[in-house]
Amino acid sequence: MIRKKILLLGDFSVGKTSLVRRYVDGAFDDKYLTTIGVKISKKLLTLNGEEYEMLIWDVEGSTPSKKISLGYYRGASGAIFVTDVNRQETLDSLADHKEIFLNENPDAAYVVAYNKADMLSEVAKEKIELKDDTFLTSAKDDNNVEALFIRLMEKMVL
C-alpha cells in the first residue's frame, strides 16, 4: 500500500476540522489541534483497484502571534487549501498559504475547497467561477467532500 502525507491548510474557522471529521476513518482527539497545532487523521481509499492511505495533517490556522511549525509542512505530497466562501479575507489569504506550502514542497499536488457552500444562495453559487480542482464544499451537507479528497489523491498518484 502507498501512504501519502497531506495537509489541510487555511485560515481559522474556515471549516478544515469539520471537513476532516466528515471524511476520515480514524483520528486523534481534537485537543492536539489546540495544544500542538496539528491533528492527524487517516483515510483509506481505492483508486483503479489500488488501495491508498492518506495521513491527513489538519494544521491549525496561523496567526501573527502563533506561527505554525514548518516541520508540519515538510514531506507532504499534497494539500487541501480551505476557504470560507462567505468570508472574503479567507479567499484573499489563499495565495499566502499556497506560497508557504509550495516553498517547502515544490512538487506537491493541491486542490482548493470553497467551504460552507450550504450558506450560499443558488444565485451566489452560480456567480462563483470554479477553476480546475476547485470545489464548492459543505461539511454540513456532505457536499463534494469525498470528491475533494479523491481528486487530490488522483493528482498525487496517477
Partner 1 sequence: MKRVTPAISKGIAENKETMIDALYPIMGGMISKYVTQAIKELMETINKKIERGLSFENYKRKAKAKLSGVSEMELLLEESSGALISSLFVIHKESSLLIAEANLENKEINDAHMVASMASAIKDFINDWVKNSETKNEVQILSYGNATLYIESAGSVYIIAFLDAEPDYEQRTDINEFFAKIVKEYAPFFQKFDGDDSSNEIVTLSMKMEDYLYKQIPLSKEEKKNPAKMILVLLALLLLGYGTYLFNGWYIKNSLENTVYAQTGEQINISDEGATYVLSGQVTSTDVIYEIEELMKRQTKKTINNKLLVPMRYIDKRLQKEKESSEASVEKLESKLASLESGFEKSINGLQEKIFLLTQELQGSDKRLKVLLKDTTDEITVLKEEKARLNRVLEIKNEIFTRLDHSFSKSPYYNKEEHTLDFRKLEVFIASEALYKKEAIQVIAEAFTKYMTILVQYKEYIRSIIIEGHSDSTGLEEDNVALSHKRALAVKYYLERLNIVKQYHMKPFMKIEAYGSARAIEVDGIENKKASRRIKIKFELKESQIINNLRKIIND
Name which of 57 and 81 has its Cβ closer to partner 1.
Answer: 57
Give the residues lining the site for partner 1 (CB under 8 A).
1-5, 26-28, 32, 36-38, 40-42, 53, 55, 57, 69, 71-72, 74-77
Give the shortest CB-108-to-partner 1 separation in angstroms: 11
Nearer to partner 1 among residue 47 and residue 120 (C-beta)? 47
- Rounded to a whole number of angstroms, the distance between the first and last alpha carbons of the chain is 14
Closer to partner 1 by Cβ: residue 3 or 125:
3
Select from 14, 158, 1 the least CA-distant residue to 81: 14
Closest separation in Å from C-beta 70 to partner 1: 8
| Least distance between partner 1 and beta carbon 99 (Å) | 20
Q: Is 116 exposed, middle or buried (0-12, 13-18, 19+ CB in 10 A)?
A: buried
The sign one gets for the Cα dihedral 134, 83, 64, 38 is negative
R_g (Cα) of the chain, nearest Å: 15
Q: Smallest distance from the beta carbon of 130 to partner 1, in angstroms?
A: 30
CA–CA distance, 61 with 20 (Å, rounded to integer): 15
Which CB atom, from 39 or from 116, has the smaller least distance to partner 1? 39
